[in-house]
Amino acid sequence: MISRRGLFAGFAGLSGLSLAGCGSRAPAPSFAYAPPGGGSGPAAKGLDAVIDISHNVRVSDFNLVRKSDILAVIHKATEGGDWIDPSYADRRVQAESAGLLWGAYHFGTRQYSGTRQAQAFLAVTRPSPRTLIALDFDLNDYNPNNTMTLPQAEEFVHVVQQATGRLPMVYTHAGWANGLISGRRGVRLREPVGPNSILARCDLWLADHREEPEVPYAWADRGWKLWQYLADETASNAAYGSVSRAIPGVTHCDRNLFAGDNAALHRFWGVGRARA
């Protein structure tokens, strides 16, 4: 995904503020699964077996990725209504041939309607029932004026749901979804994502690169399904000062925890996703 190191710096310190338009309700626990054996830090809170990448990541061998206990790859497919990731199609074939579960995400913008963006995403990805699909709904920090609005995001989800019979995941950060001022230019959503939004019915792919993540208000009762706890990990850039868990076969990647075990992950990727 687009690097979010600068973006999350803009969110730093916001967790103690009251949520704009959301009252003072405390978030629910940030995870729904803890593997046997206890431990601490992000890796103790879920199954560390999902990465996400885009064309900016060089891939040498998806077989090495799979042999590194990675079970699933989510790849950027589209952005806006007119951009296609040039690596998407070939890498889908390579990854699935290596035995990896496959997912696709769309980076939402303001330039085109939610309907057009959803149609473009579906035309490129042609998702099967075993393709995870997701909307990346957050601040476009490089061009804030081209940030997807909440109505556009809801329209995107509606169109995808109508076309596929299932809801996509929503990737977002608590500060952004809760309507807090964010980013280098201090922008915010016009209104926060509320619990009655169709987005709140989607499984949450939480972006939070801190050891203890914050769940957005709209998902407070459900928690996250995927937690992107680290961006752009390499052999020389390990999370939280730990020993690097860089993945052979790719130059770098974002790391995600799944709220469940191996069997639950496979069910989720197949028939267990949220439906209307």
39 lies in some domain: no
The pLDDT, as a whole number, for residue 246 is 82
pLDDT at 56 over 60: yes
Q: Of the given ranges (24-33, 114-123, 231-240), which has the lowest mean pLDDT? A: 24-33
Inter-CA distances, 170 with 7, 59, 90, Å:
18, 25, 25
37 lies in some domain: no
236 lies in some domain: yes
In terms of Cβ atoms closer than 10 Å to its own Cβ (0-12, 13-18, 19+), residue 18 is exposed
10 lies in some domain: no
208 lies in some domain: yes
What value does the mean pLDDT take over residues 156-176?
Answer: 97
Structural domain count, the chain: 1
Question: Do 62 and 264 meet the contact criterion of CB atoms below 8 Å apart?
Answer: no
The pLDDT, as a whole number, for residue 132 is 98
Q: Of the given ranges (26-35, 71-80, 187-196, 245-254), which has the lowest mean pLDDT? A: 26-35
Range of the domain at 175: 44-270
pLDDT at 22 over 60: no
Whole-prediction pTM: 0.84
What value does the mean pLDDT take over residues 95-121?
Answer: 98
Q: For residue 13, what are its two tokens? A: 């310190």
36 lies in some domain: no
The pLDDT, as a whole number, for residue 205 is 98
More confident residue, 79 or 30: 79
Domain harbouring 250, CATH code: 3.20.20.80
Q: What's the sign of the alpha-carbon dihedral 173, 17, 240, 186?
A: positive
Q: For residue 196, what are its two tokens? A: 């009655």
The pLDDT, as a whole number, for residue 184 is 84
207 lies in some domain: yes
The pLDDT, as a whole number, for residue 63 is 98
213 lies in some domain: yes
